[in-house]
A = this chain, B = another copy of it.
Amino acid sequence: MDKKYTIKDIAQMAGVSKGTVDRVLHNRGKVSPAALEKINEVLNVIDYEPNLIARNLKSTKVYRICVLLPDPVFDPYWLPCVNGIQDAIKEFKAYNVNIEIHYFNPESTKSFLKTNEAIVAQSPDAVLLTPLFHKETLEIIKQYDELGIMVNTFNNQVESSSIKSFVGQDLYKSGRVAASLMNLILPKGQIAIIHIDESLKNAVHMQEKERGFRSYFDEKNLSDFSLTTLKLKYSNIETKLTSFLNENPDLSGVFITTSKAYQIASSLSNITDKKIVLIGYDLIDKNVSYLNQGLVHFLIHQNQKRQAYLGVSTLADHFLFRKDIPETILLPIDIINVENASFYIS
């Protein structure tokens, strides 16, 4: 009923040779109208799907995919990505797909550019990159485009017609999710939106989250709340927080737009005994630890591991099995509290 037909079967049914069938299937021409019709008749009746296994066995081509990733040494945020890529490496190793990770220093555009050069020199079939630096990314994408190297991106969205795909999250909506949770816990009061170590590279990131967060309160017309934005640097967190708390004794909630919620939790517990609601991002160890202590109320999971995995696996599936690469993959915005956190930590 659901038999798998082969080219040989089709050839036999149409009364021609497998070579001719192959030419029809691949539009290679050099086929007489008579033969074409006979073969098409057969193809219309049966449901032929080429055996992907055989096809891939024949092609000895080794596909090469490079991943450009910030070195987790500089920020543990990127650690899960490495795991995701390593899963992909394992999975596709048996299929002649070579996946290589190249690290760069997320604080240095120079490092970003230099690592890109190294990748270009390798001329892989495709690249998955973390486009932290907007301007530099655009330059580099042009280069890849000219060399016919396919480019996927993840984590940060960059608009460019040369980019084949983006895997990430809707940051605006994730800000809204955070706001809805905040609104659930707090009936009213002052809320601070804190950006830590805002540098060019993820300013857009944080702003989108803030925009979403604010939009929620704006829409609901919740006049019992007042929102204040606060930009902190790693070096001055505690002093700035202290003075902010002195000036704003009504502060009851904090939304941290980066993965550094643990820094705020730690500082706040030093400064005051007041119970302040904290909502932040990412399941890095220190954040989870404060979640378990009850000092962080919710974390939003950005699922970098899966982002990275999907970034390369869609490429590999494309090369191996000619699957379409979706233009955009938006991962769900997972809400994490102390009760369900363990299931998301891999």
Query: Which residues of A pack against B, CB within 8 Å?
Result: 2, 4, 49-54, 56-57, 62, 93-96, 98, 170, 173, 176-177, 179-181, 184-185, 216, 297, 321, 330-340, 343-344
CA distance A62 to B4 in the complex (A): 10
> Would B335 and A2 count as touching, CB distance under 8 A?
no
> Would B177 and A49 count as touching, CB distance under 8 A?
no
> Would B332 and A343 count as touching, CB distance under 8 A?
yes
Please, which residues of chain B bring their CB within 8 A of the CB of A344? 332
> Would B94 and A339 count as touching, CB distance under 8 A?
no
- Could you list 11 examples of A-B contacts with CB < 8 Å? A2-B98, A52-B95, A57-B57, A177-B337, A180-B337, A180-B339, A184-B185, A332-B343, A332-B344, A333-B339, A333-B343
> Would A53 and B56 count as touching, CB distance under 8 A?
yes
Closest 8 CB pairs of A and B: A332-B343, A335-B335, A52-B94, A333-B340, A177-B339, A180-B339, A53-B57, A177-B340
CA distance A338 to B335 in the complex (A): 12
> Would B343 and A94 count as touching, CB distance under 8 A?
no
> Would B176 and A339 count as touching, CB distance under 8 A?
yes
Report the minimum CB–CB distance from A65 to chain B (whole Å): 13
> Would B332 and A51 count as touching, CB distance under 8 A?
no
Question: A173-B339, A184-B185, A340-B173 are known contacts. Are A95 and B53 too (CB-CB below 8 A)?
Answer: yes
Please, which residues of chain B bring their CB within 8 A of the CB of A54? 57
Extra 18 A-B pairs, beta carbons < 8 Å, given A170-B343, A184-B185, A184-B297 = A4-B62, A4-B96, A51-B94, A52-B95, A53-B53, A53-B57, A53-B94, A54-B57, A173-B339, A173-B340, A176-B339, A177-B337, A180-B338, A180-B339, A330-B343, A331-B343, A332-B334, A333-B343
CA distance A95 to B334 in the complex (A): 34
Q: Which of B173, B297, B330, B337 contacts A335 (CB under 8 A)? A: B337
Closest to A47 in B: B93
Please, which residues of chain B bring their CB within 8 A of the CB of A340? 173, 177, 332-335
> Would B334 and A334 count as touching, CB distance under 8 A?
yes
Please, which residues of chain B bring their CB within 8 A of the CB of A184? 184-185, 297
CA distance A98 to B3 in the complex (A): 10
Q: Which of A51, A94, A170, A330 has the most CB of B within 10 A?
A: A94
